[in-house]
Amino acid sequence: MIFLVALILAISKSWQLITDGFRIDKINSSLTKIDSSNLTIDPEITKIVDQKFKYLSKGCQTYVFKSLDDRYVLKFIRYHRYKIPLWLRIFTFLDSYRNKRLYYKDKLLKDSLKSYEIASKFLKDETAIVYVHLNETDNINKKVQIIDRLGRKYLIDLDKTGFVVQKKVKTFEDILRQNKGNEIELKKLANSFLYTTEAIYRKGFINDDYNCVKNSGFINGKVIHSDVGSFLPRDNLKSKENFEKELVRFVRYFKKWSDKNAPFLSSHLDEKIKKMAQTL
């Protein structure tokens, strides 16, 4: 019996690694139906999703597929993350704990969806966002073909699915690593990163993401925030003290990278942040 259980667990884990955990049911959810009769779809969006998308990676909040022309990514929201596990739904004596988890999961989903909305409405230039779809509609009239890690093909009804279309970028971490020995280029990259972050903060939003290096990207000579699931509104950023405090908090992971790989960059970041705060 022990051997059988261990074998089942091993097979399950192996399958998880092979597929990266992707399943169609994990991106399915009952979206809120809205009247889309007066909504128009940009022809660019239709053209983008008129091609196939191949599995690329998994993020904390989305499964990511890249277009065959290698110019865009299609991110499907991992709705299963916001549901409580089956065992917690079965054991009724855990009502108190289950209700706490339900509240937490519901808040997590609402915060994530709000962040996507913020990125779509206010931060397209800073995030390379092209389009965000969070409600059930009937105006896209398009099914996109996606291909998973195993080469299996699926048709996804975009009107009934939560997704984000974004320009495909190089990862900021890779760009930093490629320029590790180049002080001039690293300072340029750091400045671009700070300018983009400053632009977001000046619009009254912060990025609550803890790993700004991993979740930023690089496109057309500019650093952008590629992970769009952690934006929050803040009404206190006009204060020099609050602005600097929030910027220092967000950049702390970048400084961990620079402390280890390019110590001169840490002092450069500190100086730039102070100058930015003084211009408020």
pLDDT tens for 58-68 read 988 999 999 99
Q: What is the reported pLDDT for 10?
A: 63
**Rounded average pLDDT over 107-120:** 95
**Rounded average pLDDT over 78-82:** 90
Residues 249 and 130 in one domain: no
DSSP string for 217-268:
EEETTEEEE---S-EEE-S-TTSHHHHHHHHHHHHHHHHHHHHHH-HHHHHH
The single residue listed with the structure tokens 């097979």 is 11
**Residues 251, 256, 259, 262, CA torsion sign:** negative
> Contact at 8 Å (CB) between 45 and 54?
no
DSSP string for 47-88:
HHTTS-EEEEEE-SSEEEEEETTSSEEEEEE-GGGGS--HHH
DSSP string for 101-153:
HHHHHHHHHHHHHHHHHHHHHH-HHHHTEEEEE-SB-SS---EEEEE-TT--E
Residue 188 within any structural domain of the chain: yes
Summarize pLDDT for 240-279 with one digit per residue, the tens.
999 999 999 999 999 999 999 999 999 999 999 999 988 8
Q: Which of 203, 273, 278 is nearest to 245 (CA)?
A: 273
User: Out of 34-43, 120-129, 145-154, 218-227, which region has the weakest mean confidence (pLDDT)?
Assistant: 34-43
Last residue of a domain, one of 116, 132, 167: 167
- Cα–Cα distance between 162 and 181 in angstroms, integer? 41
Residue 222 within any structural domain of the chain: yes
Return the H-helix or E-strand segment holding 159. Answer: none
Summarize pLDDT for 5-28 with one digit per residue, the tens.
565 656 666 656 677 889 999 999
Residue 14 within any structural domain of the chain: no
Last residue of a domain, one of 167, 189, 214: 167
Residues 90 and 174 in one domain: no
Split at pLDDT 50, 70, 90, the class of 168 is very high
Q: What is the reported pLDDT for 278?
A: 87
Residues 148 and 221 in one domain: no
- Cα–Cα distance between 38 and 43 in angstroms, integer? 15
The range of the structural domain enclosing residue 71 comes to 22-167
Q: What is the CATH number of the domain that holds 229?
A: 1.10.510.10
